[in-house]
Structure 1
Amino acid sequence: MNTTSLPLILSPAVRDALDKKQAVVALESTIITHGMPWPDNVNTARLVEDAVRAEGAVPATIAIIEGKIHVGLDDKTLEWLGTAKDVMKVSRADLAFALSAGRHGSTTVAATMICAHLAGISVFATGGIGGVHRGVEETMDISADLTEFARTPVAVVCAGAKALLDLRRTLEFLETQGVPVVGYKTSDFPAFWSRSSGLPVPLRADSAADIAAMISMRRTLRLEGGVVVANPVPEQDEIPQAEIEALITRAVGEALEAGISGKAVTPYLLSRMLELTDGRSLRTNVALVLSNARLAAQIARALA
C-alpha cells in the first residue's frame, strides 16, 4: 500500500519489518489513556511490547499525536501518553476529525484496526473487544468495534468481549455481520476476566498456524473484514464468572444511575471494577493482554 500521502508516521523498526515482510503486531493506545491507572498503564504497555518481541515479532503501538497517526512509539512517547491530558478516545467516527484538527488521540479497537490496515499490518492484540451493551433496548449502545470487524481485514486477538457487555447479543451481532469468531483452544466464548461466558464459541482452532491458514484462505476468497480470535485468560489468572458477575451487575447499575453513557461507560466500569475487586481485575487484565500479545505474535509469524 502506498502510504506516502497519508498522515502516517511509521517508527524505523516497524517500517523495516514491513519492508522485509516480517511479523508485526498492532497494539492499541486506549488501554494506556483510558484503560488502566498510571503507572500500571505504561508498565503494562512496555510488558506487552516485550511479549511481542519475545515471540519474534515487532510491536506497533498506535496513537494519534498532533494530527498524525504514529505506528510504533518510542519509550519516551509511551511515558508521555500515560499521563497526557486532553487525549481524545478515537474511533471510526472521529478519526478524521482528530487528524484534521491536529489533536492527540488514543485509538480504540476500531480505530486501531483502521490505522493498522493503512500501515499494512494484519494482526492486532488487545484486551477485550467492545460489543452490545447491557440495556441496549433503552440505550442503543453498540460499540463501533463490531461493525469494524466486518469492514477491515485485520485479525484481532482478544480475551473475548468485555464481561460488562451483553455477550449473547454481541455474538449474535457478529454472526449477522459475517464475522468469524474463533476460540483458541476453547469451545467456550471467554468473558474477559473469566475463561468462559457459558456461551459456545462459533469456531475453534488449536494452533496459531491453523488460525493463520484460515486468515490466508479468507484473503484467497477475497472476503471482506477481519477475524476475532478469542483467547481465554490463563487459568491461574482468571476471576470466575460466578464470582465476578454480581460485581459487574452492581457497577453497571451505578453507571446507569449516574447517567454515564457513550464512550465514558467502559472507562468508568473498568475503574469501578478495579475498586470492587481490590485491584484483582487489573492484575487479570494485565495477564490477559500479555497472553493475547504472545498469541498475536505467533499468528503474525505464521502469516509472514
Structure 2
Amino acid sequence: MTTPLVVSPEVQAAVASGAAVLALESTIFTHGLPRPRNVDVAQEAEASVRALGVVPATIGVIDGRPTVGLSPSEIVRLCEDDGVVKASLRDVPVVASKGLSAGTTVAATAYLAHLAGVRVFSTGGLGGVHREAQQTFDESADLGTLATLPLVVVSAGVKSILDIPLTLERLETLNLAVLGYRTTDYPGFYVADSGHDIEYSVDSPAEIARIARVRDSLGISSTLLIANPVSSERELDPNLHDDVLARALAAADAAGVTGHDTTPFLLDFMQRETDGRSLDVNVDVYRGNVRLGAEIAVALSGPDR
C-alpha cells in the first residue's frame, strides 16, 4: 500500500537541493485563532519565511491527504471549513482513511515534516504535562513524538496552563535537549519567564545549527528544543497573567472540566478575561518563532550541512 503523504513540488525540490525549508503547523489557524484573523496570520507567516529566502512548508490534511507544503488556496480552505478536525499523530491514519480534512498538532506536524525531509519546525507553544498528571496521566503526545525525531523545533516553551516543572522533568527523561534563545529563563508562552530555569542558552542560529549537526553525527534521534521567549515589551503583564490563570483554574475545577476539554476551556477563559490580549500575545509569539525558525533553517542549509 502506498503512503498517502503529499509533498508539494516546491518543498520536494528544496529538500532535494539542501535549500532552507521551515515546517509550520496548521492547528494555529484551524483551531487556535478566530476568523478572519487566522487567514491573515497563516498568510503572514508564509510571507515572512519567504522574505528570508526560506521555503515554507505548512502542513495539514486535505481530504484525507496528509500534505507537506499546503497551497495558498488549501490554507484558506482549512481556515474557513467548519468540518476541519484537529489531528494529533495517532489520528492521522484515521483522518486519512476517512477522507477528512484536518489541522495537524505539533506531534503530527513534526512527524510529517520528518517524513518529507524537513529539519526545522516553528510552532507557538508545545504540549506538555498537565496539572495533576500524577493522578490523570495527562501528557501531550508532543513529548513522546519529539523524543523520536531528529528535528529542531522552535517554541515559546509550553503554555502556562500546564505543569511546567513536571514538563521540564519529562523533557529530561525523554532526552529532549532544551536550549533557551539568549536566556536561561524558561518561557511560559504568554510571559517571557515562567519562573523556572534551564541549563543552557544559545546566542545565534549558527550556534543552534552547529549543535544540531553534532547531535546528528552522534546518531541521537531526539528533537532539539529551542525556547524562544516573547519580548518583555509584548508579553502579557505577569501580574495579570497570574491572577487570570488562578481564576481560570478555579473556574475549571468548579465546572468539573477535565481531560481534553481542559485546555480549550482555560485558553478561552484567558482570552475573555484579558480582553483578547492573550490572543495578541499568541500571535506575537508565533511571529517571533517563525522568524527564528527560518533563520535556523538558513544556517542548517549552509556549507556544513
State the TM-score, normalized to the length of structure 2: 0.94
Q: Which amino acid in the other structure matches residue 267 of structure 2?
A: L
User: How far 1:249 moved relative to its partner?
Assistant: 2.1
2:61 to 30, 46, 64: 64
List per-residue Cα deviations over 1:60-102 (Å, max 9, x = no partner). Answer: 1100111111111222222211121232211122222111222
- Which deviates the most, 253-262 or 84-93? 253-262
List per-residue Cα deviations over 1:142-197 (Å, max 9, x = no partner). Answer: 11111112111121100111111110110011001111001000110001010001
User: How far 1:241 moved relative to its partner?
Assistant: 2.9
Q: Which amino acid in the other structure matches residue 106 of structure 1?
A: G
> Within 5 A, what are the aligned runs for 1:134-145?
134-145=131-142
- Which deviates the most, 159-168 or 77-86? 77-86
The answer to whether residue 103 in structure 2 is matched with residue 89 in structure 1 is no
User: How far 1:274 moved relative to its partner?
Assistant: 1.2
Name the SS of the counterpart of 1:191 in structure 2: coil
Name the SS of the counterpart of 1:237 in structure 2: coil
Percentage identity across paired residues of the two chains: 45
Which residue in the other structure is 1:9 paired with?
6
Residues 78 and 101 in structure 2, CA contact (< 8 A), matched pair in contact too: no
Residues 195 and 240 in structure 1, CA contact (< 8 A), matched pair in contact too: no
User: How far 1:41 moved relative to its partner?
Assistant: 1.3
Rounded Cα–Cα distance in structure 1 between residues aligned with 2:150 and 2:97: 25
**RMSD over aligned Cα, in angstroms?**
1.6
Rounded Cα–Cα distance in structure 2 between residues aligned with 1:283 and 1:236: 12
State the TM-score, normalized to the length of structure 1: 0.94
Residues 159 and 288 in structure 1, CA contact (< 8 A), matched pair in contact too: yes
Residues 18 and 229 of structure 1, relative CA distance in 2, 3 Å threshold: same
Name the SS of the counterpart of 2:147 in structure 1: helix
2:253 to 240, 251, 256: 256
2:263 to 252, 263, 266: 266
Which residue in the other structure is 1:153 paired with?
150
Residues 202 and 208 in structure 2, CA contact (< 8 A), matched pair in contact too: yes
Rounded Cα–Cα distance in structure 2 between residues aligned with 1:288 and 1:49: 15
> Within 5 A, what are the aligned runs for 1:95-106?
95-106=92-103
Which residue in the other structure is 1:198 paired with?
195
Which residue in the other structure is 2:127 paired with?
130
The answer to whether residue 294 in structure 2 is matched with residue 293 in structure 1 is no
Contiguous gaps of at least 5 residues in structure 1: none
Residues 64 and 139 of structure 1, relative CA distance in 2, 3 Å threshold: same
Q: Which amino acid in the other structure matches residue 52 of structure 2?
A: E
Q: Which amino acid in the other structure matches residue 50 of structure 2?
A: R
Residues 159 and 191 in structure 1, CA contact (< 8 A), matched pair in contact too: yes
- Which deviates the most, 267-276 or 19-28? 267-276
User: How far 1:19 moved relative to its partner?
Assistant: 2.3
2:174 to 155, 171, 177: 177
Residues 61 and 96 in structure 2, CA contact (< 8 A), matched pair in contact too: yes
Residues 35 and 270 in structure 1, CA contact (< 8 A), matched pair in contact too: no
Which residue in the other structure is 2:230 paired with?
233
- Which deviates the most, 4-13 or 133-142? 4-13
User: How far 1:32 moved relative to its partner?
Assistant: 1.0
Name the SS of the counterpart of 2:210 in structure 1: helix
Q: Which amino acid in the other structure matches residue 167 of structure 1?
A: I
Residues 62 and 74 in structure 2, CA contact (< 8 A), matched pair in contact too: no
List per-residue Cα deviations over 1:29-69 (Å, max 9, x = no partner). Answer: 11111111111111111111122112221111100111111
Name the SS of the counterpart of 2:180 in structure 1: strand
Contiguous gaps of at least 5 residues in structure 2: none
Name the SS of the counterpart of 2:66 in structure 1: strand
Residues 78 and 102 in structure 2, CA contact (< 8 A), matched pair in contact too: no
Rounded Cα–Cα distance in structure 1 between residues aligned with 2:174 and 2:299: 26
> Within 5 A, what are the aligned runs for 1:40-51?
40-51=37-48
Rounded Cα–Cα distance in structure 2 between residues aligned with 1:5 and 1:214: 35
Q: Which amino acid in the other structure matches residue 67 of structure 2?
A: H
